[in-house]
Amino acid sequence: MSIWLFGVPLRGSLWLFYGVSVLMFLSSSGIGVLMGTIAQNMQQTLLLAFFILFPLAFLSGTMVPIHNMPPVMQWLTYLSPLRYYVEATLGIFLKGVGLEILWPQTLALAIYGLALLGISTLRFRRSLA
Query: What pLDDT is recorded for position 128?
Result: 85
| Cα 3 off chain centre by | 22
**DSSP single-letter state for residue 108:** H
pLDDT tens-digit map of 16-66: 999 999 999 999 999 999 999 999 999 999 999 999 999 999 999 999 999
User: Do residues 52 and 31 touch, judged by C-beta distance below 8 A?
Assistant: yes
Q: Which amino acid is at 101?
A: I
Query: What pLDDT is recorded for position 129?
Result: 75
Distance CA 116, CA 96 (A): 29
Distance CA 69, CA 8 (A): 27
Angle (nearest 5°) at CA 99 between 97 and 102:
75
Query: What pLDDT is recorded for position 113?
Result: 95
Q: Residue range 108-124: average pLDDT?
A: 95
User: Do residues 17 and 99 touch, judged by C-beta distance below 8 A?
Assistant: no
pLDDT tens-digit map of 67-89: 999 999 999 999 999 999 999 99
